[in-house]
Amino acid sequence: MVKLRDHEKLKGLWPPVFEGPHSFWDKHHPGGEWGELQQVKWVVPDRKGELPYLKIIVHWDEVDFRGVMTHDDTPFLKKVYEAMKSRGIRKTLEEVGDLQVDF
């Protein structure tokens, strides 16, 4: 068992980079494991040859931020998705990073 954030295949991918709405007055995500996981979606692009990815929505400081995560090991990414979807919704990103996984 290993913490999700410490998984060898997630080096450089966790935590994802989050962006918010783009305008002069909008808040910016501070980076790191700030915010609460609101939603994670498995997205299969329409374009042939593009890899599936995770669309991740976090809530921080009264704003929703979005991020994406992709990996060339699609079965691995699917397991990350399943862990986040089943055990991470409404938890802080720090708690999601602490999830114990065995894949």
Distance CA 52, CA 42 (A): 7
Per-residue pLDDT, 25: 67
Distance CA 82, CA 60 (A): 23
> What's the domain range around 32?
2-101
pTM: 0.92
Dump the DSSP string for 61-90: TTEEEEEEEE-S-HHHHHHHHHHHHHHTTT
| Count of domains for the chain | 1
pLDDT by residue (tens digit) across 24-71?
667 889 999 999 999 999 999 999 889 999 999 999 999 999 999 999
Q: Residue 76: what are its φ and ψ, rounded to 5°?
A: -65, -45
Count other C-beta atoms under 10 Å from residue 41's C-beta.
Answer: 12
Q: Is the pLDDT of residue 23 over 90?
A: no
Q: What is the pLDDT confidence band of residue 20, given thresholds at 50, 70 and 90?
A: confident
- 3-state SS, 32-53, equals CCCCEEEEEEEECCCCCCCCCE
